[in-house]
Structure 1
Amino acid sequence: MSVDRTRPGPWRPLPCRGPEAQLFVIGDLHGQAGALGAALDAIGRVPGTGLPRRLVFLGDLIDRGPDSLGAVRLAMGAADQARVDAVTLLPGNHELMLIDGLLDPQEFMGDWLDNGGDEVIREVDPGCTARKLVDLAEIARAAFDPAFLIAMTSGPSFERAGELLLVHAGLAPGVDAGIFLSQGRFGSSGKHWAWIRDPFLDWEFGWGPDRSWVVVHGHTPAVTRRAGPDGFARAADRVETHRRLCLDAGAAFGLPQVGWAEFGPDRYRVGLARQDV
């Protein structure tokens, strides 16, 4: 097994006010713990700038991949490996489906299982014979760190950093951003900050009250096959045309690769970490 620890790409100017921090952001993981480990190693090797170092995960740490529990453990303990001062875990739609299933197994547990949660159950208990949704919910509940479940249930659902908005899926054009982001997380779907695709992806006219924000998101893969860092950056970066940057590198398709980015007050760059098996 070899791990590709590719350095991030070239710096690009931010067309908005950036964070007053050295900010790192990691996209969808979907159980690709090996690729996450490579991303954290790469971030840990980035020299400090004198500003506080912060790391934000955009959600969808779990489901579909081989090691969801390992991905959660690495994310929860990422501060030391990435050499950052603070870590924030935002929820993705897969975490929201899990929480729905734990709160109301009869109504929602099947949705989570059908969307990749079954891989988590097999990871926890390869010989699992449980069939009742309430029993499967208890297996899932026991498998995850309670602090992770609390963060997904009641922690922040988005992050503002200067005029950057960090959120799992995106915003809805023509809808006040504050109202859109205030939507609850339970029983959600469709035009929601954890679920939206179109028309968010095609919008070219800016975001936020002054249309000056740049949205950093995941949820919709920028690539669906193995990519090199340059190819991923070209596919992910829509900052100039759409005021958005997508850090989903296709882990939901079983790809052992994770997108990430570094932001400063006036610039950004994109990286890709990959575990080759």
Structure 2
Amino acid sequence: MEVAPVVGRQSIGTAADSGTERFSTMVDLMLTVSYIDGVFHQTEWALLQKYVDSVLAMIDSAAVGTPDDRAKLRGAWRAHFEELYTRLDKEVSYLAQEVMAAGNDTYVGSRLRVRALTLFKRLSHADQAVALELIVALVHADGQITKNEHAVHLELQQLFKLPAPIKVPAARPSARTLVDQPLPPVHPLIVMPKGKKDLAALSHPLLDPLEQTLSPHPVERRAQVEWDYQLLQRASMQWQRQAQLGANRLSGITSIDQLAPGSRFLDRYVHVMRPNAKVELIVLGDLHGCYSCLKAALLQTNFIQRAWAHQWDPANHPDVKLVLLGDYIDRGRFSFDGVLRAALHLFVSLPDHVIMLRGNHEWLRWIDNRVTSGVYPAEALASLAPHVPVEMLEAYRVLFEQMPTSFLFERTLFVHAGIPREDTFAERYRDLSSLNDDLMRFQMMWSDPAPTDHVPVELQRMDPRFSFGRNQFKAFMQRLGLHSMIRGHERIDAGIDVIYDLGEHMLVSLFSSGGADNADLPEDSSYRSVTPMALSILASQGKLAATPWPLRYQTFNYAPHNGLYRRQPILDYRYG
């Protein structure tokens, strides 16, 4: 196939011009389609290399300079394409390591199809025609067309046939509209530069008694299991009490402004707070069995002492809340007997100061007369189940079903993952009480943002862990009258990332487990590339300032400061 050259006369050092972006997008698209069936075949690789060689030949013929200069230019382009391949290979490997719903293996394919559509939209109409021809050759290269390859080709064809969107300039508001329809002031979340927090202590009497692994002695272990069982019952009763006090308070509420300042309640599965005084939120993303990260956060912020001080003297000690975004179990070594036990104990001890949200890992099911996890892999359940009675596993399952799933704080929404599917939202949302809808809650524990404007609903239906785009996020936030979302769910190597910054709407991802040398993780954990972070959000006079800071987990990887290391756990770490 011949491709018309688009690169102008070039000299060495000008490879990063507009032509670079065009060819990079084309190669990235072809690589994505090659990976979409799960295998990058040698015949597909040969076809891609042939295309790259043709591009380099065009660049070489259009370039100026000495033969050495032209050779350097070819080398620079070749290195650029190799970098694209290496990057995508790493991304696909990362996707394959992500958790998915048990019994469902469509996650990687659906994410790659979203990526292909996003790349295709970046191309001009003429380049899209070329890309479709290349993709036809690519999917036939290995002699067979898989379901995913056929589907993505049809989707790209349909996208190619759509008329180009007409950009209509936004109408300027008139004086009349400004007077007759005043809008409330919007103060999006302000993300400050990364800070740091020193440890205020190395232990705390509320935590120390909890730090014990299950005993090898059956009598002692029975007492430990009974204590954990009673803790679950106390947490369950506390949520029931809170939900009774806040029952139906969101019914008919379409905007947080309809609630009086000072409102604080739990309506079924939705925590709500409209502060009328200064308050600090200490937010933690996925903890995944990394108890050292949780303990570091508590002692770096002196959270427990500050919460007690506010209870005794609220006039002189500002309010403080601990917000946990879910995924307490799996991945790390200390799940049920570490992170979850401590989080629940904090909640029952300080119920007005601790907000526990449910993650997708907090999903257990009865299948074939046994309790199983709804996610795969599920190391925590596989490690615990041989050592406790099934009644204990059932108690965890029931507890998870009672866990709240979202926290409305002024115009910021805290959830584990993201927004509901586009069709689900259109069909089921009426007012803020709709956040209690079972299907919407489930989908908001699974979805992920994608670097595109829109993800077709057909792709969203493919997998419980679906993607959404910027416009879908913006529409969701506008309908709820919100400006910011804080979520966990996805591994973020930097610990925190602003995924969408759309002016009046922002989406921030936070991850609080991991660490290159964190002994809470198994040696081969992919989370070792993560710098676990926490987020302090200071709310004052309607404005929210968020400061991220790293967790000093290293101090709590040793017996003197963490009782979980004082004797060898009897629970073998198992890959569920």
TM-score bucket (shorter structure) = 0.5 to 0.7
Note the C-alpha offset of 1:150: 5.2
Note the C-alpha offset of 1:141: 5.0
1:171 aligns with 2:425: no
Q: Which moved more, 1:166-175 or 1:195-204?
A: 195-204
Match of 2:378 in 1: 117
User: What does 1:179-198 align with in structure 2 at a 5 Å threshold?
Assistant: 181-184=435-438, 192-198=443-449
8 A Cα contact 1:39 1:258, kept in partner: no
**1:193–1:210: structure 2 CA closer, same or farther, 3 Å change rule?**
closer
User: What does 1:110-149 align with in structure 2 at a 5 Å threshold?
Assistant: 110-112=372-374, 115-122=376-383, 124=384, 128=386, 139=389, 142=392
8 A Cα contact 2:486 2:509, kept in partner: yes
CA distance in 2, matches of 1:118, 1:58: 20
Question: Match of 1:93, SS?
Answer: coil
The AA in structure 2 aligned to 1:66 is R
CA deviation vs aligned residue, 1:85-144 (integer Å, no higher than 9, x gap):
511211100102x2xx2xx232894554x624334432x37xx4xxxxxxx9x7465269
1:74 aligns with 2:342: yes
Which blocks of at least 5 consecutive residues in structure 1 are unaligned? 9-16, 129-135, 224-230
Note the C-alpha offset of 1:168: 0.5
- The structure in which a higher percent of residues are strand is 1
User: What does 1:1-277 align with in structure 2 at a 5 Å threshold?
Assistant: 6-7=196-197, 20=275, 21-44=279-302, 50-69=317-336, 70-78=338-346, 86-96=353-363, 98=364, 101=365, 104-106=366-368, 109-112=371-374, 115-122=376-383, 124=384, 128=386, 139=389, 142=392, 151-172=399-420, 175=425, 176=429, 178=432, 181-184=435-438, 192-198=443-449, 202-203=469-470, 206=474, 207-209=477-479, 212-223=482-493, 231-233=494-496, 236-238=497-499, 240-241=501-502, 243-249=506-512, 251=514, 253-255=526-528, 258-265=532-539, 266=543, 267-276=545-554
CA distance in 1, matches of 2:500, 2:285: 16
**1:264–1:84: structure 2 CA closer, same or farther, 3 Å change rule?**
farther
8 A Cα contact 2:411 2:481, kept in partner: no
CA distance in 1, matches of 2:417, 2:510: 10
8 A Cα contact 1:261 1:270, kept in partner: yes
CA distance in 2, matches of 1:275, 1:141: 33
TM-score by structure 2 length?
A: 0.35
Question: Match of 2:297, SS?
Answer: helix
CA distance in 2, matches of 1:185, 1:141: 27
**1:210–1:35: structure 2 CA closer, same or farther, 3 Å change rule?**
closer
- The structure in which a higher percent of residues are helix is 2
CA deviation vs aligned residue, 1:164-185 (integer Å, no higher than 9, x gap):
1011101147535848733316
CA distance in 2, matches of 1:165, 1:220: 17
Over the aligned positions, Cα root-mean-square deviation in angstroms equals: 4.0
Determine which structure has more spread, i.e. the larger CA radius of gyration. 2
The AA in structure 2 aligned to 1:193 is M
Residue-pair matches, total: 234
Match of 2:574 in 1: none
8 A Cα contact 1:40 1:78, kept in partner: no
CA distance in 1, matches of 2:332, 2:370: 21
Note the C-alpha offset of 1:253: 3.5
TM-score by structure 1 length?
A: 0.67
**1:80–1:161: structure 2 CA closer, same or farther, 3 Å change rule?**
same
**1:210–1:149: structure 2 CA closer, same or farther, 3 Å change rule?**
closer
Runs of 4+ with deviation above 6 angstroms: 45-49
Question: Match of 2:292, SS?
Answer: helix
CA distance in 2, matches of 1:141, 1:213: 43
Q: Which moved more, 1:84-93 or 1:199-208?
A: 199-208
**1:275–1:165: structure 2 CA closer, same or farther, 3 Å change rule?**
same
Note the C-alpha offset of 1:22: 1.6
CA distance in 2, matches of 1:271, 1:170: 23
Question: Match of 1:215, SS?
Answer: strand
CA distance in 2, matches of 1:87, 1:167: 15
